[in-house]
Amino acid sequence: MTRMEPLRKIEAGVLEVAYFETGPADGPPVLLMHGFPYDIHTYAEVAPMLADQGCRAIVPYLRGYGAQRGLLALLDALKIERAVLAGYDWGGRAACVVAALWPERVAGLVSFNSYNIQDIAKAMEPDTPANEHSLWYQYYFHSERGRAGLGKDRKALTKLLWKLWSPTWKFDDATFERSAAAFDHPDFVDVVIQSYRHRFGLVPGDPAYAYIERRLSAQPTITVPTITFDGLDDGVRPPADAAAHAHRFSGPRSHRLVPGVGHNMPQEAPRVFADAVLELVPALRSQNPQ
């Protein structure tokens, strides 16, 4: 089983970011962002596929809400002017935010679950009963019981989420344990709880990023070339056709529904995900000729 080693570390703004990198240093840069509750091994197959095609594939560990600013700081620290960004779940949100607010830094976007910028002002509006049911874990984390439950047995809880969110993905225990080691980080529980409370407006965000929150409250349009996906077996976000989020994209966009895929698409269908990234790389090569 492939392990993404060795890790590199770099000072990016106020954070020290650990990341895996593969491929030629002068190749077109691609940043791959994982979600919750997963880690960089989501891209254990995708990253080498991109490297084999000459890309510089970078897979950072994300730290939860506020990661979009950390992502921009990481681009600066690595001296990357423009990159293709790809992600899902928390990582997809970070990629969407950077694409929306700093499009000059993004040559292309691959986003699972389409437009993934949270709308805090409307977060307390009830959804359909079926969608409310699938979000039980978020409401659980709003309570101190939920914080205690995550802290008491984070592996059992996160493994349950893997199963519920990707019901057709037959991962083995070794695959889960490879990622679960990251959940032992001392900040894990605090970051998760803060994220799921902040997105509902239950706790304030970092005042240092208030100006970003103000810009995001307008639900800015994404203008960069984009490929979006939904998994037909996603246990968190029900699949939708292209029209559902069409008004959030003003640039070229292709939306695709993927059968047999749940919420963790890069690990469940790595070839399909990698090929989508590679579709956007030629534009980056033309903008950054070697």
* Dihedral sign for Cα atoms in the order 110, 113, 114, 117: negative
How far is Cα 56 from Cα 193, in angstroms, rounded to an integer?
Answer: 33
pLDDT(102) > 90:
yes
Kind plus residue range of the DSSP H or E element containing 227: strand 226-231
**Are 33 and 65 spatial neighbours (Cβ–Cβ below 8 Å)?**
no
**Are 249 and 117 spatial neighbours (Cβ–Cβ below 8 Å)?**
no
pLDDT at 68: 47
Average pLDDT of the chain to the nearest whole number: 94
**Are 56 and 27 spatial neighbours (Cβ–Cβ below 8 Å)?**
yes
pLDDT in tens, 212-248: 999 999 999 999 999 999 999 999 999 999 999 999 9
Specify if 96 maps to a domain: yes
Between residues 214 and 70, the one the model is more confident about: 214
pLDDT at 66: 37
Please state the pTM of the whole predicted model. Answer: 0.95
Sheet holding 253-258, edge to edge: 8-12, 15-22, 56-60, 29-33, 83-87, 106-112, 226-231, 253-258
Between residues 256 and 1, the one the model is more confident about: 256
pLDDT at 208: 86
pLDDT at 69: 56
Number of domains in the chain: 1
pLDDT(273) > 90:
yes
Average pLDDT over residues 245-255: 97
Q: What is the CATH number of the domain that holds 131?
A: 3.40.50.1820
Average pLDDT over residues 258-280: 98
pLDDT(288) > 70:
no
Specify if 2 maps to a domain: no
In three-state secondary structure terms, 173 is helix
Highest mean pLDDT among 10-14, 136-140, 187-191, 279-283: 136-140
**Are 258 and 230 spatial neighbours (Cβ–Cβ below 8 Å)?**
yes
- Residue 86's DSSP bridge partners are 32, 110
pLDDT in tens, 127-180: 999 999 999 999 999 999 999 999 999 999 999 999 999 999 999 999 999 999
**Are 112 and 90 spatial neighbours (Cβ–Cβ below 8 Å)?**
no
Average pLDDT over residues 37-55: 97
Any idea of the CA torsion for 225, 37, 65, 231, to the nearest 10 degrees?
30
Using alpha carbons, select from 67, 73, 46 the residue that is nearest to residue 57. Answer: 46
How far is Cα 70 from Cα 80, in angstroms, rounded to an integer?
Answer: 14
Specify if 261 maps to a domain: yes
Q: How confident is the model at residue 5 (pLDDT cuts 50, 70, 90)?
A: confident
Q: How confident is the model at residue 209 (pLDDT cuts 50, 70, 90)?
A: confident
For residue 126, give its domain range. Answer: 8-287
